[in-house]
Amino acid sequence: MKNRKHSLTKRVKEIAIRNLFGFFAFLSVLLLGLILVFLFREGIPLFKQISVADFLFGTAWYPTYEPPEYGIWPLIVGSLAVTFFACLIAVPLGILSAVYIAEIAPAGIKEILKSIIELLAGLPSVVLGFFGMVIVGPWLQETFDLPTGLNIVNAAVMLAIMAIPTISSISEDALYAVPREFKEASYALGATRYETIIRVIIPAALSGISTAVILGMARAIGETMVVLMVAGGAAAIPESIFDAVRPMTASIAAEMGEAPFRSGHYHALFATGIVLFMITLAFNLIADYISNRFRETGSGTL
Amino acid sequence: MVTVEKDFIIRTKGVDFFYGAFRALSDITMNFEKNRVTALIGPSGCGKSTLLRLLNRMNDLIDGTRVEGEILFEDRNIYAPDVDPVEIRQRIGMVFQKPNPFPKSIYNNITYAPKLAGIRDSGEIEALVEESLKQVVLWDEVKDILTKSAMTLSGGQQQRLCIARALAMKPDVILMDEPTSALDPISTAKIEELIDTLKKHYTIIIVTHNMQQAARISEYTGFFYLGKLIEFNATEKIFTNPDVKHTEDYITGRFG
Amino acid sequence: MNGKTFESSMRSRYFKQRLFFGAVRLSALLITLALLGILAYILANGFRAITWEFLTQPPTDSMTKGGIMPAIVGTFYLTVGAILVALPLGVVSAIFLTEYAKQGALSRIIRVGVNCLAGVPSVVFGLFGLGFFVVFLKFGSCILAGALTLGILILPTIIGAAEEAIKAVPQTFREASLALGVSKWDTIFRIVLPSALPGILTGAILGVGRAAGETAPIMFTAAAFFTAVLPKSIFDEVMALPYHIYVLATAGTHIEETRPLQYGTVLVLIALVLGIDLIAIIMRSMIRRNKRW
């Protein structure tokens, strides 16, 4: 039976392909693990010098002093501050623009606005950083009579521009996914479009919108070039929104070039990377959990 | 009772089929005679298409399904663990409800599977294209536009191309899943004519919701209801004097 | 409800609606203005710097004069390298997720992994590239290390786009092929992939745009402050447009003096990245329109 034999080798080939493809697909997971391994490999040696608590909650970041101090609390606060204020701007704008695209805009404008948001997402962060430096910074400095225009407000505005496309496009998907029957039922009961959007559509899309907001926040907290260029760079705990800060990402990007190889400073920057990685990983897992739970139970629980 | 020894090409023995926990077919035992047309009829959801797709293991593609019992093709159980579904499908062709040519040229639609099955000789390939298209009476219509996309053909032409594509593999059996339900009456008539000539060389099993069609083209008819084979008999008998009252009710349109 | 109170209640309901719709339209307008404002401003200030010389000459006089050619070339190499890494890996992953392991624990783990990889901050990719490619594998700071780092960065984008494109191929194509006794692999390779190709390419182009604009991942893995000559091998350091902008705008003694060069470089980068994105957007809408199935 020649045919049988031939088909046997074919089946072996099929199984081999499946396993090979599975391995390559699994590479994404391996890479994630590899990132963690190498962050730890270069970051852990720091903790021979200082404790984890001193590192996380130490309020002094003087990595090049003698003796050096590696407290990243001011950097963490800096990251949280710019992210918080960026979300204050980006969340309403992102969600409202998604509502506009999904529910209100005429077809032509909808397509254009979607393209605009996609292009906004495509703007390189260094370009936004540059814009913040040469335009927003000087304007803020003059208008509010500040010592520097490179501060939390500036960083928050530019970060918001980066986070809006994420929030808007994911929210839009969530709004589209609301079954038409819900809307029709609401209209049939005499509700206005506004009432339908606020009371039926947005609540039904809420888990998707939450995912969007979390991912937008993750995007903002992990963003580097913008905060490197416009946050001002002061490694101190800010007292006002016009103070300069030095978020974690900015600190890593600015100092890695100068940190001597495998010095305490070098290890401290990798350790900062671990903190950053953990925060964004947590955000992403939460987002994944929310969107997944929603998929399983459906909108019936709302 | 059957007295003459008949040549059965496919036999199912006590076949059950499950989608998850749902039992879509129960205890189906049928013998399909070689070089005859067998029609499977019944209301939608009765399991007739499911049975058809079991015969060439197309239901393998759906996750969470399970088959019990035996389906013998030339005395070999096609669900035995050492059987490659690919080999089975080379010998049992299928035509679908909606014409589904590939977005390739007419020529490449026909040659796609034979080439992958190992036919390299270009003369042989060309002869195969002509022969298959002639068998479905499409050759004269398309011989000058073989390089054009199959998507440019009309629905009826596309369906005949799909039949030609299946014939090019020189199968023994052709399964047809409501092949004319998406076509106009003229195209339907052409396909029915085609089935009549094809049965000289092929065994044809056709699912149809159209009882006149079953009566016109088939020698045997099986009537399905709620996943059970209610009656399997010569078509003439089914449509004139069925053994089961239930069949008669369906045929005469007393329920549907 | 009598007519009058009904009317006044309706009036207040419609008033709320007008207010809300106003806010919604305003937000859309603000976003549009933000993009157009940035683009217009960069264009107005940058176009004077764009000359033939600027695009084809290396920088001179300690980077206060001359052009940006090495940075353009460097970005080109890094981007091409990144897509060479990410495209095959991404397509293979997408095939596995859509055709082989639709459900189950393995595909669930892979999906979570891909989502988390997509969320890793770009500067952390830079740290990883430094720790793994530059230090551990001893590549040094070079095109290879930078391209690999960027490739991993855009991998989730490519996987997502390829998955969507493959899912859009009608199931009937697969059935038709399998029913002819064609193997699963041949069906994927000859029917599914060709049909999904335009969509996959669109995703690849978007990935290229993303890679071309990234700064943080290449800062410690590939990018040089200044190189006098063009790279000769994949183990050379290169200049890159985004890093060049950062350097000119922040780390010099002539920051004000080199403003025109900065605007010019920003304009070139924007034109490159948004041009690439625009091609992808137009391609995608053409695919949607021309879909014959």
Q: Which two tokens stand for residue C15?
A: 């008033």
Tell if the CB–CB gap between C42 and A100 is shorter than 8 Å. Answer: no
Residue C125: domain span? 52-290
Name chain C contacts of B151, Cβ cutoff 8 Å.
292-293
What residues in chain A have per-residue pLDDT under 50? Answer: 1-5, 296-302
CATH superfamily ID and name for A52-301: MetI-like (1.10.3720.10)
Using the structure block, give the residue that is written with the tokens 């089935």. B195
Q: What is the predicted pLDDT for the residue at A302?
A: 40
Distance from CA of B84 to the nearest CA of A (A): 7
Rounded mean pLDDT, C227-246: 89
Name chain B contacts of A10, Cβ cutoff 8 Å.
84, 86
Q: Looking at the complex, does the CB of residue A9 fall below 8 Å from at least one CB of chain B?
A: no
- Bridging pattern class, strands B92-95 and B220-225: unpaired
User: How far is B252 from C263, CA to CA, in rounded Å?
Assistant: 83
- Write down the ipTM of this complex: 0.90
Q: What 3-state DSSP class applies to B1?
A: coil
Question: How confident is the model over B111-144, as pLDDT tens digits?
Answer: 999 998 888 899 999 999 999 999 999 999 999 9
Q: Looking at the complex, does the CB of residue A213 fall below 8 Å from at least one CB of chain C?
A: no
Name chain B contacts of C177, Cβ cutoff 8 Å.
102, 112-113
More confident residue, B152 or C4: B152
- Count the helices and strands in chain C (H runs, E runs): 12, 2
Closest CA to B187 of B227, B218, B156: B156
Q: What is the predicted pLDDT for the residue at A233?
A: 87
- Asked if the structure places residue C247 within a domain, the reply is yes
Rounded mean pLDDT, C158-170: 94
Q: Which residue of chain A has the CA closest to C89?
A: A24
User: How far is B109 from B116, CA to CA, in rounded Å?
Assistant: 12
User: How far is A224 from C37, CA to CA, in rounded Å?
Assistant: 22
Distance from CA of C100 to the nearest CA of A (A): 7
- Asked if the structure places residue C36 within a domain, the reply is no
Tell if the CB–CB gap between B86 and A8 is shorter than 8 Å. Answer: no
Question: How confident is the model over B139-148, as pLDDT tens digits?
Answer: 999 999 999 9
- The answer to whether residue C67 scores a pLDDT higher than 80 is yes
Closest CA to C182 of B119, A25, A16: B119
- Number of domain units in chain C: 1
- Asked if the structure places residue C22 within a domain, the reply is no
- Bridging pattern class, strands B203-207 and B173-177: parallel
DSSP label of C271: H
- Asked if the structure places residue C21 within a domain, the reply is no
Task: List chain A domain ranges.
Answer: 2-47, 52-301
Report the mean per-residue pLDDT for chain B: 91
Closest CA to B15 of B29, B5, B4: B29
Question: How confident is the model over A234-258, as pLDDT tens digits?
Answer: 888 999 999 999 999 999 999 998 8
Name chain C contacts of A134, Cβ cutoff 8 Å.
249, 259, 262
Q: What is the CA angle B46-B49-B51, rounded to 5?
A: 90
User: How far is C54 from C65, CA to CA, in rounded Å?
Assistant: 9
Tell if the CB–CB gap between C213 and A126 is shorter than 8 Å. Answer: yes
Q: Looking at the complex, does the CB of residue C113 fall below 8 Å from at least one CB of chain A?
A: yes
CATH number at residue C155: 1.10.3720.10
Report which residue type is found at C114: V
Question: How confident is the model over B195-245, as pLDDT tens digits?
Answer: 999 999 999 999 998 889 999 999 999 999 999 999 999 999 999 999 998
Interface test with A, best of C1, C15, C17, C24 (most A CBs within 10 A): C24
C103, C179, C182 ranked by CB distance to B58: nearest: C179
In the beta sheet, which residues pair with residue B65? B19
Chain C neighbours among B 55-74 (CB < 8 Å)? 56, 58, 61, 63
Q: What is the predicted pLDDT for the residue at C3?
A: 63
- The answer to whether residue B64 scores a pLDDT higher than 90 is no
Name chain A contacts of C93, Cβ cutoff 8 Å.
21, 24-25, 27-28
Q: What is the predicted pLDDT for the residue at C4?
A: 66
* Burial label, C230 (beta-carbon count in 10 A; 0-12, 13-18, 19+): middle
Domains of chain B, each with CATH number or no CATH: 8-80+88-251 (3.40.50.300)
Q: What is the predicted pLDDT for the residue at B20?
A: 87
Length of chain B: 256
DSSP label of A134: I
Q: Which two tokens stand for residue C256?
A: 């004000």
User: How far is A223 from A221, CA to CA, in rounded Å?
Assistant: 6
Report which residue type is found at A98: A
- Bridging pattern class, strands B220-225 and B37-41: parallel
- Bridging pattern class, strands B76-77 and B65-73: antiparallel
Query: Which residues, 6+ apart, have CB-to-CB distance to B188 below 8 Å?
Result: B156, B180, B213
What radius of gyration do chain B's Cα atoms show?
A: 18
Q: Which residue of chain C has the CA closest to A217?
A: C119
- The answer to whether residue C228 scores a pLDDT higher than 80 is no
C-alpha dist (Å) from residue B57 to B36, B67, B134, C54, C125: 21, 10, 29, 65, 47
Strand ranges, E, within chain B: 8-19, 22-33, 37-41, 65-73, 76-77, 92-95, 173-177, 203-207, 220-225, 228-234
Q: Per residue, what are the HEC states of C61-82?
A: CCCCEECCHHHHHHHHHHHHHH
- Asked if the structure places residue C33 within a domain, the reply is no
Q: Looking at the complex, does the CB of residue C190 fall below 8 Å from at least one CB of chain B?
A: yes
- Asked if the structure places residue C152 within a domain, the reply is yes
- The answer to whether residue C57 scores a pLDDT higher than 90 is no
Q: Which chains touch A (3 or more CB pairs under 8 A)?
A: B, C
Q: Which residue of chain A has the CA closest to C249?
A: A130
Rounded mean pLDDT, C29-35: 95
Q: What is the predicted pLDDT for the residue at A2?
A: 39
Q: Which residue of chain C has the CA closest to A195?
A: C17
User: How far is C10 from C17, CA to CA, in rounded Å?
Assistant: 10
Name chain B contacts of C176, Cβ cutoff 8 Å.
96, 100-102, 162, 165
Rounded mean pLDDT, C2-20: 81
- Asked if the structure places residue C6 within a domain, the reply is no
Residue C225 pLDDT class (50, 70, 90 cuts): confident
Closest CA to A97 of A37, A177, A169: A169
- Asked if the structure places residue C197 within a domain, the reply is yes
Torsion-angle region of C267 (φ positive above 0: left; ψ -120 to 50: alpha; else: beta): alpha
Question: How confident is the model over B35-59, as pLDDT tens digits?
Answer: 999 999 999 889 999 999 999 999 8
Q: Which two tokens stand for residue A188?
A: 């049939």
Interface test with B, best of A1, A9, A11 (most B CBs within 10 A): A11
Distance from CA of B178 to the nearest CA of C (A): 15
Q: Which residue of chain C has the CA closest to A229?
A: C250
In the beta sheet, which residues pair with residue B77? B72
User: How far is A261 from A257, CA to CA, in rounded Å?
Assistant: 9
Q: What 3-state DSSP class applies to B94?
A: strand
